[in-house]
Amino acid sequence: MNLFGKVIQYTVFFILATLSKNKQRLDKLLVDLDLCSSRQLAQRLIRAGEVKVNQQIVDKPGTEVEITAEIQIKEKPPYVSRGGEKLAQALKVFEIAVEGRICLDGGISTGGFTDCLLQAGAKRVYGVDVGYGQVAWSLRNDPRVVLQERTNLRYLQPADLYGDLADNSLESSQGNVQELYPNLGVVDVSFISLTKVLDALWQLLTPPRELVLLVKPQFEVGRERVGKKGVVRDPNDQAQA
């Protein structure tokens, strides 16, 4: 009787294991099928109702679906995150040329800014982030991207990022310094004021420096001026930020 029970138990386990191999989380499947460059992007598209499975909209990233299912995305985003679209517009408005430049992405996260810079012709992008493992796989494997993760931008020194290439001040215009170091910085940081990282950023760039900063008022005006859900509604506070 016990042996018979074990046979049934093993059989059930085998069936369940086989079924699990034929199904996968939708967000992970989108990445595995190369329909999305990161889980974060896949989750955003799914929650927005942009993904169909067998002609039906699925809006929960964790939904288990057949790996052979027909999957459609309404429109593939131009960058690995919406940050790329924001930066693209800023570069256009400010008339900043990126072609052939070396850049620094402070707070790279998934890599929307970096993706935008590369598509605009950047020669190399140094990506810095306090976190780890968030960068889209396509960017992580791109030889033009130099990653520095688990790093607080506020305390970063040129020698930490550039190693033996670093010049103490990066102020010298002699030699090929323009070809080694970034002179365009783009920044998107959270839970810290930009004023805390500007000095470090300035040291990491070589003249002529250009900085594009994404300002988030909720991190600039002080907690007492931040409303519900982290929104700063007072126009005066927004202007101050």
pLDDT top residue among 47 and 10: 47
Give yes or no on whether 2-73 and 83-219 have one common fold: no
Model pLDDT for residues 104-139, shown as the tens digit of each residue: 999 999 999 999 999 999 999 999 999 998 899 889
User: pLDDT value at position 33?
Assistant: 86
pTM above 0.75, yes or no: no
Q: Is residue 17's pLDDT more than 50?
A: no
CATH of region 2-73, choose from 3.40.640.10, 3.40.50.2000, 3.10.20.30, 3.10.290.10: 3.10.290.10
Please state, in angstroms and rounded to a whole number, the distance separating the CA atoms of residues 141 and 137.
6
Residues 6+ apart with CB under 8 A from 175: none
- 18/189 Cα distance (integer angstroms): 44
How many CB atoms neighbour CB 124 within 10 A?
20
How many Å apart are CA 108 and CA 128, to the nearest integer?
A: 6
Residue ranges of domains in the chain: 2-73, 83-219
At residue 218, the pLDDT reads: 59
Assigned fold of 83-219: Rossmann fold (3.40.50)
- Rounded CA-CA distance 155/196 in Å is 10
Per mean pLDDT, which range of 59-68, 73-82, 135-144 is the poorest?
73-82
Cα distances from 124 to residues 84, 143, 195, in angstroms, run 16, 8, 26
Q: Sort 192 into a burial class: Cβ within 10 Å, 0-12 / 13-18 / 19+.
A: middle
